[in-house]
Structure 1
Amino acid sequence: MKSLLETVLSRAPKRTSHAQVVDQLGRAIVSGEFPVGSILPGDPELAARFRVSRTVLREAMKTLAAKGMIVPRARIGTRVTPRKEWNLFDAEILTWHFACGVDEEFLQHLSEVRLAFETHAAALAARNASDAEIATMMRLAVAMSHANHTAETLAEADLRFHLSVLDASGNPFLRTVGSLIEAALVGIFRLSSPTDDVGGIDEVAQNHIRIVEEIGKRDEAGARQAMEYVIRYGRDRIHQALQTETGEGA
Protein backbone atom coordinates (compact mmCIF):
# COMPACT_ATOMS: atom_id res chain seq x y z
CA MET A 1 0.00 0.00 0.00
CA LYS A 2 1.25 3.47 -0.86
CA SER A 3 2.01 5.86 1.95
CA LEU A 4 -0.13 8.95 2.35
CA LEU A 5 2.78 11.04 1.05
CA GLU A 6 3.06 8.98 -2.12
CA THR A 7 -0.71 9.05 -2.64
CA VAL A 8 -1.03 12.82 -2.23
CA LEU A 9 1.98 13.74 -4.34
CA SER A 10 0.99 11.37 -7.14
CA ARG A 11 -2.65 12.52 -6.85
CA ALA A 12 -3.71 8.87 -6.95
CA PRO A 13 -7.46 8.44 -6.47
CA LYS A 14 -8.85 6.75 -3.38
CA ARG A 15 -9.52 3.10 -4.12
CA THR A 16 -12.68 2.26 -2.18
CA SER A 17 -16.07 3.95 -2.08
CA HIS A 18 -15.68 4.39 1.68
CA ALA A 19 -12.30 6.11 1.28
CA GLN A 20 -13.65 8.35 -1.48
CA VAL A 21 -16.58 9.52 0.64
CA VAL A 22 -14.35 10.15 3.67
CA ASP A 23 -11.93 12.13 1.49
CA GLN A 24 -14.54 14.23 -0.32
CA LEU A 25 -16.67 14.93 2.72
CA GLY A 26 -13.61 15.65 4.86
CA ARG A 27 -12.36 18.17 2.31
CA ALA A 28 -15.80 19.78 2.14
CA ILE A 29 -15.77 20.27 5.92
CA VAL A 30 -12.21 21.61 6.05
CA SER A 31 -12.85 23.98 3.13
CA GLY A 32 -15.89 25.45 4.87
CA GLU A 33 -18.48 24.17 2.41
CA PHE A 34 -20.02 22.64 5.51
CA PRO A 35 -19.06 25.21 8.18
CA VAL A 36 -18.34 24.54 11.83
CA GLY A 37 -21.65 24.29 13.69
CA SER A 38 -23.70 23.47 10.61
CA ILE A 39 -25.89 20.39 10.20
CA LEU A 40 -24.89 18.10 7.36
CA PRO A 41 -27.47 17.18 4.72
CA GLY A 42 -29.42 14.01 5.43
CA ASP A 43 -28.33 10.54 4.42
CA PRO A 44 -30.45 10.39 1.24
CA GLU A 45 -28.97 13.64 -0.08
CA LEU A 46 -25.36 12.71 0.76
CA ALA A 47 -25.76 9.18 -0.59
CA ALA A 48 -27.02 10.64 -3.87
CA ARG A 49 -24.23 13.22 -3.97
CA PHE A 50 -21.47 10.64 -3.55
CA ARG A 51 -23.32 7.89 -5.44
CA VAL A 52 -22.89 5.33 -2.69
CA SER A 53 -25.18 3.19 -0.58
CA ARG A 54 -26.36 4.38 2.80
CA THR A 55 -24.27 1.64 4.38
CA VAL A 56 -21.08 3.03 2.82
CA LEU A 57 -22.11 6.56 3.78
CA ARG A 58 -22.76 5.63 7.41
CA GLU A 59 -19.37 3.91 7.70
CA ALA A 60 -17.72 7.03 6.27
CA MET A 61 -19.57 9.18 8.80
CA LYS A 62 -18.31 6.94 11.61
CA THR A 63 -14.75 7.48 10.35
CA LEU A 64 -15.16 11.27 10.35
CA ALA A 65 -16.76 11.14 13.80
CA ALA A 66 -13.75 9.19 15.07
CA LYS A 67 -11.53 12.00 13.78
CA GLY A 68 -13.56 14.44 15.89
CA MET A 69 -14.96 16.35 12.90
CA ILE A 70 -18.66 15.54 13.25
CA VAL A 71 -21.06 14.39 15.95
CA PRO A 72 -24.54 12.90 15.45
CA ARG A 73 -27.37 14.39 17.48
CA ALA A 74 -30.68 12.60 17.98
CA ARG A 75 -33.59 14.37 16.25
CA ILE A 76 -31.21 17.11 15.09
CA GLY A 77 -28.77 15.57 12.62
CA THR A 78 -25.03 15.38 12.24
CA ARG A 79 -23.27 18.57 13.28
CA VAL A 80 -19.79 19.76 12.24
CA THR A 81 -17.77 20.17 15.44
CA PRO A 82 -15.50 23.11 16.35
CA ARG A 83 -12.01 22.83 14.86
CA LYS A 84 -10.45 22.60 18.32
CA GLU A 85 -12.10 19.18 18.64
CA TRP A 86 -10.59 17.81 15.42
CA ASN A 87 -7.68 15.40 15.71
CA LEU A 88 -5.03 17.48 13.98
CA PHE A 89 -2.51 14.68 14.40
CA ASP A 90 -4.60 12.72 11.91
CA ALA A 91 -2.74 12.55 8.60
CA GLU A 92 -5.86 12.91 6.46
CA ILE A 93 -7.12 15.99 8.29
CA LEU A 94 -3.71 17.64 7.88
CA THR A 95 -3.61 16.73 4.21
CA TRP A 96 -7.10 18.16 3.64
CA HIS A 97 -5.91 21.43 5.12
CA PHE A 98 -3.04 21.59 2.63
CA ALA A 99 -5.32 20.59 -0.24
CA CYS A 100 -7.83 23.33 0.64
CA GLY A 101 -5.16 25.96 1.22
CA VAL A 102 -3.28 26.89 4.37
CA ASP A 103 -2.41 30.26 5.82
CA GLU A 104 0.61 31.58 7.70
CA GLU A 105 -0.99 30.95 11.07
CA PHE A 106 -1.64 27.28 10.32
CA LEU A 107 1.92 26.79 9.08
CA GLN A 108 3.31 28.52 12.14
CA HIS A 109 1.34 26.22 14.43
CA LEU A 110 2.50 23.16 12.51
CA SER A 111 6.15 24.16 12.60
CA GLU A 112 5.91 24.89 16.34
CA VAL A 113 4.69 21.35 17.00
CA ARG A 114 7.46 19.89 14.83
CA LEU A 115 10.05 22.00 16.64
CA ALA A 116 8.78 20.67 19.96
CA PHE A 117 8.74 17.00 19.00
CA GLU A 118 11.44 16.49 16.38
CA THR A 119 14.19 18.49 18.01
CA HIS A 120 13.72 16.49 21.19
CA ALA A 121 13.67 13.27 19.16
CA ALA A 122 17.04 14.22 17.63
CA ALA A 123 18.47 14.88 21.11
CA LEU A 124 17.18 11.52 22.34
CA ALA A 125 18.65 9.82 19.26
CA ALA A 126 22.04 11.29 20.17
CA ARG A 127 21.64 9.66 23.57
CA ASN A 128 20.03 6.34 22.61
CA ALA A 129 20.66 5.43 18.95
CA SER A 130 22.63 2.31 18.23
CA ASP A 131 25.54 2.35 15.79
CA ALA A 132 23.35 0.48 13.30
CA GLU A 133 20.61 3.11 13.59
CA ILE A 134 23.12 5.91 13.09
CA ALA A 135 24.45 4.15 10.00
CA THR A 136 20.89 3.86 8.66
CA MET A 137 20.18 7.54 9.28
CA MET A 138 23.39 8.52 7.49
CA ARG A 139 22.53 6.30 4.54
CA LEU A 140 19.09 7.91 4.28
CA ALA A 141 20.55 11.43 4.56
CA VAL A 142 23.14 10.76 1.86
CA ALA A 143 20.44 9.26 -0.38
CA MET A 144 18.77 12.67 -0.39
CA SER A 145 21.71 14.06 -2.37
CA HIS A 146 21.02 12.04 -5.53
CA ALA A 147 20.91 14.47 -8.44
CA ASN A 148 18.14 12.61 -10.25
CA HIS A 149 15.57 13.16 -7.51
CA THR A 150 12.14 14.42 -8.50
CA ALA A 151 10.06 16.43 -6.05
CA GLU A 152 8.17 13.23 -5.22
CA THR A 153 11.19 10.96 -4.63
CA LEU A 154 12.99 13.62 -2.60
CA ALA A 155 9.91 14.08 -0.41
CA GLU A 156 9.76 10.32 0.15
CA ALA A 157 13.48 10.21 1.02
CA ASP A 158 13.01 13.13 3.40
CA LEU A 159 10.12 11.38 5.15
CA ARG A 160 12.10 8.14 5.57
CA PHE A 161 14.92 10.12 7.20
CA HIS A 162 12.70 11.94 9.69
CA LEU A 163 10.88 8.76 10.66
CA SER A 164 14.23 7.04 11.22
CA VAL A 165 15.17 9.76 13.72
CA LEU A 166 11.91 9.23 15.59
CA ASP A 167 12.61 5.49 15.69
CA ALA A 168 16.18 6.04 16.89
CA SER A 169 14.97 8.25 19.74
CA GLY A 170 13.95 5.10 21.59
CA ASN A 171 10.64 6.70 22.64
CA PRO A 172 7.68 4.87 21.05
CA PHE A 173 5.32 7.79 21.70
CA LEU A 174 7.35 10.02 19.40
CA ARG A 175 6.76 7.67 16.48
CA THR A 176 3.06 8.56 16.64
CA VAL A 177 3.80 12.06 15.30
CA GLY A 178 4.94 10.50 12.04
CA SER A 179 1.65 11.37 10.32
CA LEU A 180 2.09 15.01 11.29
CA ILE A 181 5.58 15.06 9.77
CA GLU A 182 4.31 13.29 6.67
CA ALA A 183 1.56 15.83 6.13
CA ALA A 184 3.98 18.71 6.76
CA LEU A 185 6.32 17.36 4.09
CA VAL A 186 3.39 17.02 1.69
CA GLY A 187 2.74 20.72 2.16
CA ILE A 188 6.38 21.73 1.87
CA PHE A 189 7.07 19.80 -1.31
CA ARG A 190 3.80 20.67 -3.03
CA LEU A 191 4.34 24.38 -2.44
CA SER A 192 8.09 24.54 -2.95
CA SER A 193 10.46 21.68 -3.69
CA PRO A 194 14.26 21.99 -3.36
CA THR A 195 14.45 20.28 -6.76
CA ASP A 196 13.26 23.59 -8.25
CA ASP A 197 16.47 25.38 -7.21
CA VAL A 198 20.03 24.98 -8.44
CA GLY A 199 21.91 23.32 -5.61
CA GLY A 200 18.73 22.89 -3.60
CA ILE A 201 19.04 19.11 -3.34
CA ASP A 202 22.65 19.28 -2.13
CA GLU A 203 21.79 21.90 0.47
CA VAL A 204 18.91 19.84 1.84
CA ALA A 205 21.03 16.70 1.96
CA GLN A 206 23.89 18.45 3.76
CA ASN A 207 21.46 19.88 6.33
CA HIS A 208 20.24 16.36 7.11
CA ILE A 209 23.73 14.87 7.12
CA ARG A 210 24.64 17.46 9.75
CA ILE A 211 21.89 16.10 12.01
CA VAL A 212 23.37 12.59 11.81
CA GLU A 213 26.88 13.88 12.42
CA GLU A 214 25.72 15.52 15.65
CA ILE A 215 23.86 12.37 16.66
CA GLY A 216 26.96 10.31 15.89
CA LYS A 217 29.01 12.56 18.17
CA ARG A 218 26.41 11.97 20.91
CA ASP A 219 25.97 15.73 21.08
CA GLU A 220 22.37 16.19 22.22
CA ALA A 221 22.41 19.98 21.99
CA GLY A 222 24.06 19.88 18.56
CA ALA A 223 21.52 17.34 17.25
CA ARG A 224 18.68 19.45 18.58
CA GLN A 225 20.03 22.59 16.88
CA ALA A 226 20.67 20.81 13.58
CA MET A 227 17.12 19.46 13.50
CA GLU A 228 15.73 22.87 14.40
CA TYR A 229 17.60 24.39 11.47
CA VAL A 230 16.11 21.85 9.04
CA ILE A 231 12.55 22.46 10.25
CA ARG A 232 12.93 26.24 10.09
CA TYR A 233 14.49 25.94 6.64
CA GLY A 234 11.41 24.07 5.36
CA ARG A 235 9.07 26.51 7.06
CA ASP A 236 10.82 29.46 5.43
CA ARG A 237 10.56 27.81 2.00
CA ILE A 238 6.78 27.56 2.40
CA HIS A 239 6.57 31.14 3.66
CA GLN A 240 8.41 32.39 0.58
CA ALA A 241 6.27 30.24 -1.74
CA LEU A 242 3.05 31.61 -0.24
CA GLN A 243 4.31 35.17 -0.56
CA THR A 244 5.13 34.56 -4.21
CA GLU A 245 1.65 33.09 -4.81
CA THR A 246 -0.02 36.13 -3.28
CA GLY A 247 2.32 38.57 -4.99
CA GLU A 248 3.77 39.84 -1.74
CA GLY A 249 7.26 38.72 -2.67
CA ALA A 250 7.18 40.41 -6.08
Structure 2
Amino acid sequence: MSPGRFARQPVKRSSHGHVVDELGRAVIGGEFAAGDILPGDVELAARFKVSRTVLREAMKTLAAKGLVFPRARIGTRVMPRAHWNLFDSDVLSWHFSVGVDEDFLKHLSEIRLALEPYAAALAAERASDADIAQMMRLAVAMGNNDHSAETLAHADLEFHLHLLEASLNPFMRTVGNLIEAALIGVFKLTNPNADRSEIDRVAVTHIRIVEEIRRGDAEGARQAMEDVIRAGQQRLMSDLTVQGRRPS
Protein backbone atom coordinates (compact mmCIF):
# COMPACT_ATOMS: atom_id res chain seq x y z
CA MET A 1 0.00 0.00 0.00
CA SER A 2 1.43 3.36 -0.96
CA PRO A 3 2.29 5.88 1.82
CA GLY A 4 0.17 8.58 0.20
CA ARG A 5 -3.06 6.63 0.24
CA PHE A 6 -5.12 9.28 2.00
CA ALA A 7 -3.22 12.26 0.63
CA ARG A 8 -3.16 11.30 -3.02
CA GLN A 9 -4.77 13.56 -5.59
CA PRO A 10 -8.13 12.37 -6.91
CA VAL A 11 -7.86 10.46 -10.16
CA LYS A 12 -10.10 11.54 -13.00
CA ARG A 13 -12.78 8.90 -13.46
CA SER A 14 -13.72 7.36 -16.78
CA SER A 15 -17.19 8.02 -18.19
CA HIS A 16 -18.19 4.54 -17.06
CA GLY A 17 -16.84 5.15 -13.54
CA HIS A 18 -18.59 8.52 -13.34
CA VAL A 19 -21.99 7.03 -14.22
CA VAL A 20 -21.55 4.11 -11.82
CA ASP A 21 -20.51 6.43 -9.00
CA GLU A 22 -23.30 8.97 -9.52
CA LEU A 23 -26.07 6.40 -9.93
CA GLY A 24 -24.73 4.32 -7.05
CA ARG A 25 -24.87 7.34 -4.75
CA ALA A 26 -28.33 8.24 -6.05
CA VAL A 27 -29.73 4.78 -5.29
CA ILE A 28 -28.15 4.51 -1.85
CA GLY A 29 -29.01 8.12 -1.04
CA GLY A 30 -32.67 7.49 -1.82
CA GLU A 31 -33.07 9.58 -4.97
CA PHE A 32 -34.37 6.35 -6.52
CA ALA A 33 -36.31 4.16 -4.10
CA ALA A 34 -36.52 0.38 -4.06
CA GLY A 35 -38.92 -0.74 -6.75
CA ASP A 36 -38.50 2.39 -8.85
CA ILE A 37 -37.78 2.05 -12.54
CA LEU A 38 -34.78 4.19 -13.48
CA PRO A 39 -35.20 6.75 -16.27
CA GLY A 40 -34.67 5.33 -19.75
CA ASP A 41 -31.41 5.12 -21.62
CA VAL A 42 -32.02 8.29 -23.64
CA GLU A 43 -32.71 10.41 -20.55
CA LEU A 44 -29.80 9.01 -18.53
CA ALA A 45 -27.40 9.22 -21.47
CA ALA A 46 -28.30 12.89 -21.83
CA ARG A 47 -28.00 13.49 -18.07
CA PHE A 48 -24.47 12.06 -17.90
CA LYS A 49 -23.43 13.05 -21.43
CA VAL A 50 -22.33 9.52 -22.29
CA SER A 51 -23.16 7.04 -25.02
CA ARG A 52 -25.81 4.41 -24.53
CA THR A 53 -23.06 1.79 -24.69
CA VAL A 54 -21.29 3.36 -21.70
CA LEU A 55 -24.59 3.64 -19.86
CA ARG A 56 -25.46 -0.02 -20.39
CA GLU A 57 -22.03 -1.14 -19.17
CA ALA A 58 -22.54 1.01 -16.07
CA MET A 59 -25.90 -0.68 -15.45
CA LYS A 60 -24.20 -4.07 -15.66
CA THR A 61 -21.74 -2.95 -12.99
CA LEU A 62 -24.51 -1.69 -10.71
CA ALA A 63 -26.46 -4.92 -11.25
CA ALA A 64 -23.40 -6.93 -10.22
CA LYS A 65 -23.34 -4.94 -6.98
CA GLY A 66 -27.00 -5.81 -6.35
CA LEU A 67 -28.35 -2.27 -6.66
CA VAL A 68 -30.44 -2.67 -9.82
CA PHE A 69 -31.98 -5.38 -11.98
CA PRO A 70 -32.48 -4.72 -15.70
CA ARG A 71 -35.40 -6.40 -17.46
CA ALA A 72 -36.17 -6.34 -21.16
CA ARG A 73 -39.19 -4.22 -22.13
CA ILE A 74 -39.67 -3.16 -18.51
CA GLY A 75 -36.59 -1.17 -17.62
CA THR A 76 -34.00 -1.16 -14.86
CA ARG A 77 -35.55 -1.62 -11.44
CA VAL A 78 -33.93 -0.47 -8.19
CA MET A 79 -33.50 -3.44 -5.87
CA PRO A 80 -34.34 -3.48 -2.14
CA ARG A 81 -31.46 -2.88 0.24
CA ALA A 82 -31.37 -6.56 1.20
CA HIS A 83 -29.98 -7.29 -2.29
CA TRP A 84 -27.12 -4.78 -2.10
CA ASN A 85 -23.64 -6.23 -1.75
CA LEU A 86 -22.44 -4.48 1.40
CA PHE A 87 -19.11 -6.28 1.09
CA ASP A 88 -18.47 -4.29 -2.09
CA SER A 89 -16.10 -1.42 -1.30
CA ASP A 90 -17.95 0.98 -3.64
CA VAL A 91 -21.30 0.25 -2.01
CA LEU A 92 -19.81 0.79 1.43
CA SER A 93 -18.10 4.02 0.36
CA TRP A 94 -21.36 5.32 -1.14
CA HIS A 95 -23.08 4.78 2.19
CA PHE A 96 -20.51 6.96 3.92
CA SER A 97 -20.72 9.62 1.20
CA VAL A 98 -24.49 10.04 1.53
CA GLY A 99 -24.56 9.72 5.31
CA VAL A 100 -24.75 6.81 7.74
CA ASP A 101 -26.74 6.38 10.92
CA GLU A 102 -25.77 4.89 14.28
CA ASP A 103 -27.22 1.50 13.39
CA PHE A 104 -25.08 1.33 10.26
CA LEU A 105 -21.92 2.10 12.24
CA LYS A 106 -22.92 -0.50 14.84
CA HIS A 107 -23.47 -3.14 12.16
CA LEU A 108 -20.15 -2.30 10.55
CA SER A 109 -18.40 -2.71 13.89
CA GLU A 110 -20.15 -6.05 14.38
CA ILE A 111 -18.93 -7.46 11.07
CA ARG A 112 -15.40 -6.33 11.87
CA LEU A 113 -15.71 -8.10 15.23
CA ALA A 114 -16.82 -11.23 13.39
CA LEU A 115 -13.81 -11.18 11.05
CA GLU A 116 -10.73 -9.42 12.38
CA PRO A 117 -10.36 -11.05 15.81
CA TYR A 118 -10.47 -14.45 14.13
CA ALA A 119 -7.90 -13.27 11.59
CA ALA A 120 -5.67 -12.22 14.50
CA ALA A 121 -6.08 -15.68 16.03
CA LEU A 122 -5.10 -17.29 12.73
CA ALA A 123 -2.08 -15.00 12.50
CA ALA A 124 -1.00 -16.19 15.97
CA GLU A 125 -0.92 -19.71 14.56
CA ARG A 126 0.41 -19.02 11.06
CA ALA A 127 2.25 -15.71 10.75
CA SER A 128 5.89 -15.90 9.69
CA ASP A 129 8.66 -14.16 11.62
CA ALA A 130 8.86 -11.64 8.78
CA ASP A 131 5.11 -10.92 9.06
CA ILE A 132 5.38 -10.45 12.81
CA ALA A 133 8.36 -8.15 12.46
CA GLN A 134 6.53 -6.06 9.87
CA MET A 135 3.39 -5.81 12.00
CA MET A 136 5.47 -4.74 14.98
CA ARG A 137 7.16 -2.03 12.87
CA LEU A 138 3.75 -0.80 11.75
CA ALA A 139 2.35 -0.84 15.30
CA VAL A 140 5.36 1.00 16.76
CA ALA A 141 5.20 3.55 13.92
CA MET A 142 1.70 4.48 15.10
CA GLY A 143 3.35 6.16 18.08
CA ASN A 144 5.26 8.63 15.89
CA ASN A 145 5.12 12.13 17.41
CA ASP A 146 4.66 13.67 13.98
CA HIS A 147 1.39 11.91 13.19
CA SER A 148 -1.62 13.92 12.14
CA ALA A 149 -5.06 12.32 12.39
CA GLU A 150 -4.79 11.52 8.69
CA THR A 151 -1.39 9.85 8.79
CA LEU A 152 -2.38 7.95 11.94
CA ALA A 153 -5.45 6.64 10.12
CA HIS A 154 -3.22 5.51 7.24
CA ALA A 155 -0.88 3.70 9.63
CA ASP A 156 -3.87 2.04 11.31
CA LEU A 157 -5.26 0.88 7.97
CA GLU A 158 -1.91 -0.49 6.80
CA PHE A 159 -1.57 -2.52 10.01
CA HIS A 160 -5.03 -4.09 9.71
CA LEU A 161 -4.56 -5.00 6.07
CA HIS A 162 -1.19 -6.60 6.78
CA LEU A 163 -2.67 -8.65 9.62
CA LEU A 164 -5.35 -10.01 7.28
CA GLU A 165 -2.55 -11.06 4.93
CA ALA A 166 -0.68 -12.69 7.81
CA SER A 167 -3.69 -14.92 8.57
CA LEU A 168 -2.80 -16.83 5.36
CA ASN A 169 -6.49 -17.25 4.65
CA PRO A 170 -7.34 -16.08 1.12
CA PHE A 171 -10.90 -15.18 2.16
CA MET A 172 -9.52 -12.87 4.85
CA ARG A 173 -7.36 -11.20 2.22
CA THR A 174 -10.44 -10.67 0.07
CA VAL A 175 -12.39 -8.92 2.86
CA GLY A 176 -9.48 -6.51 3.12
CA ASN A 177 -11.37 -4.29 0.65
CA LEU A 178 -14.27 -4.15 3.11
CA ILE A 179 -12.01 -3.29 6.03
CA GLU A 180 -10.21 -0.67 3.94
CA ALA A 181 -13.44 1.04 2.86
CA ALA A 182 -14.77 0.86 6.42
CA LEU A 183 -11.69 2.42 8.01
CA ILE A 184 -11.48 5.17 5.39
CA GLY A 185 -15.17 5.95 5.89
CA VAL A 186 -14.82 6.02 9.67
CA PHE A 187 -11.71 8.21 9.40
CA LYS A 188 -13.74 10.84 7.56
CA LEU A 189 -16.20 10.97 10.48
CA THR A 190 -13.69 11.25 13.30
CA ASN A 191 -12.21 14.29 14.99
CA PRO A 192 -9.51 15.69 12.64
CA ASN A 193 -7.24 16.48 15.61
CA ALA A 194 -4.99 13.64 16.78
CA ASP A 195 -3.76 14.39 20.31
CA ARG A 196 -0.72 12.81 21.93
CA SER A 197 -2.75 10.56 24.24
CA GLU A 198 -4.75 9.15 21.34
CA ILE A 199 -1.61 8.44 19.29
CA ASP A 200 -0.05 6.66 22.28
CA ARG A 201 -3.22 4.65 22.94
CA VAL A 202 -3.47 3.45 19.34
CA ALA A 203 0.19 2.41 19.29
CA VAL A 204 0.04 0.55 22.61
CA THR A 205 -3.14 -1.37 21.76
CA HIS A 206 -1.80 -2.46 18.38
CA ILE A 207 1.56 -3.46 19.84
CA ARG A 208 -0.38 -5.68 22.24
CA ILE A 209 -1.97 -7.50 19.28
CA VAL A 210 1.45 -8.22 17.80
CA GLU A 211 2.86 -9.36 21.14
CA GLU A 212 0.04 -11.91 21.47
CA ILE A 213 0.66 -13.09 17.90
CA ARG A 214 4.40 -13.39 18.58
CA ARG A 215 3.63 -15.57 21.61
CA GLY A 216 1.41 -17.77 19.47
CA ASP A 217 -1.52 -17.01 21.79
CA ALA A 218 -4.54 -17.23 19.50
CA GLU A 219 -7.06 -16.34 22.21
CA GLY A 220 -4.94 -13.44 23.43
CA ALA A 221 -4.59 -12.09 19.88
CA ARG A 222 -8.32 -12.47 19.33
CA GLN A 223 -9.12 -10.53 22.51
CA ALA A 224 -6.57 -7.81 21.79
CA MET A 225 -8.05 -7.21 18.35
CA GLU A 226 -11.57 -7.17 19.74
CA ASP A 227 -10.53 -4.57 22.31
CA VAL A 228 -9.06 -2.37 19.54
CA ILE A 229 -12.24 -2.50 17.46
CA ARG A 230 -14.53 -1.79 20.42
CA ALA A 231 -12.34 1.10 21.59
CA GLY A 232 -12.35 2.55 18.07
CA GLN A 233 -16.14 2.37 17.92
CA GLN A 234 -16.46 4.10 21.28
CA ARG A 235 -14.01 6.80 20.21
CA LEU A 236 -15.93 7.38 16.98
CA MET A 237 -19.25 7.84 18.75
CA SER A 238 -17.60 10.14 21.30
CA ASP A 239 -16.04 12.25 18.53
CA LEU A 240 -19.37 12.54 16.71
CA THR A 241 -21.10 13.59 19.94
CA VAL A 242 -18.51 16.30 20.61
CA GLN A 243 -18.85 17.54 17.02
CA GLY A 244 -22.62 17.52 17.29
CA ARG A 245 -22.79 15.08 14.38
CA ARG A 246 -23.78 11.88 16.20
CA PRO A 247 -26.08 9.88 13.93
CA SER A 248 -29.60 9.29 15.17
Find the aligned partners of 1:157 and 1:213 in 2 and give their Cα distance.
Answer: 18
Find the aligned partners of 1:198 and 1:216 in 2 and give their Cα distance.
Answer: 27
Q: Contact (CA 8 Å) 1:149, 1:195: kept in 2 or not?
A: no
Find the aligned partners of 2:177 and 2:62 in 1 and give their Cα distance.
Answer: 17
Find the aligned partners of 2:224 and 2:118 in 1 and give their Cα distance.
Answer: 11
Out of 37, 42, 45, the position equivalent to 1:44 is: 42
Q: Quote how far apart the aligned CAs of 1:248 are.
A: 6.8
Q: Quote how far apart the aligned CAs of 1:140 are.
A: 1.1
Any unmatched runs of 5+ in structure 1? none
Find the aligned partners of 2:191 and 2:142 in 1 and give their Cα distance.
Answer: 13
Change (3 A) 1:191 1:11: farther
Find the aligned partners of 1:194 and 1:108 in 2 and give their Cα distance.
Answer: 21
Pairs aligned (count): 247
Find the aligned partners of 2:165 and 2:38 in 1 and give their Cα distance.
Answer: 40
Aligned with 2:33: secondary structure?
Answer: coil
State the partner residue of 2:65: 67
Q: Contact (CA 8 Å) 1:14, 1:20: kept in 2 or not?
A: no
Change (3 A) 1:96 1:14: farther
Find the aligned partners of 1:248 and 1:194 in 2 and give their Cα distance.
Answer: 15
Offset from partner CA, 1:175-210 (integer Å, 9 cap, x none): 111111111111221111574334211211111111
Q: Which sits farther off after the overlay, 27-36 or 10-19?
A: 10-19
1:12-23 superposed matches below 5 A: 12=10, 14-23=12-21
Find the aligned partners of 1:150 and 1:130 in 2 and give their Cα distance.
Answer: 31
State the partner residue of 1:89: 87
Out of 231, 237, 242, the position equivalent to 1:239 is: 237
Find the aligned partners of 1:22 and 1:82 in 2 and give their Cα distance.
Answer: 18
Change (3 A) 1:2 1:45: farther
Out of 135, 138, 145, the position equivalent to 2:136 is: 138
Q: Quote how far apart the aligned CAs of 1:218 are.
A: 0.9
Q: Which amino acid aligns with 1:40?
A: L
State the partner residue of 1:170: 168
State the partner residue of 1:217: 215
Find the aligned partners of 1:197 and 1:151 in 2 and give their Cα distance.
Answer: 8
Aligned with 1:196: secondary structure?
Answer: coil
State the partner residue of 1:205: 203
Find the aligned partners of 2:245 and 2:178 in 1 and give their Cα distance.
Answer: 29
Aligned with 2:31: secondary structure?
Answer: coil
Find the aligned partners of 1:130 and 1:247 in 2 and give their Cα distance.
Answer: 42
Q: Contact (CA 8 Å) 1:37, 1:81: kept in 2 or not?
A: yes
TM-score, normalised to structure 2's length? Answer: 0.92
Change (3 A) 1:130 1:247: closer
State the partner residue of 1:150: 148
Change (3 A) 1:96 1:247: closer
Q: Which sits farther off after the overlay, 207-216 or 48-57?
A: 48-57
Q: Which sits farther off after the overlay, 144-153 or 51-60?
A: 144-153
State the partner residue of 2:180: 182
Offset from partner CA, 1:92-124 (integer Å, 9 cap, x none): 100000111111111111111110110000011
Q: Quote how far apart the aligned CAs of 1:213 are.
A: 0.7
Any unmatched runs of 5+ in structure 2? none
TM-score, normalised to structure 1's length? Answer: 0.91
Q: Quote how far apart the aligned CAs of 1:229 are.
A: 0.8
Q: Contact (CA 8 Å) 1:188, 1:237: kept in 2 or not?
A: no
Q: Quote how far apart the aligned CAs of 1:144 are.
A: 1.6
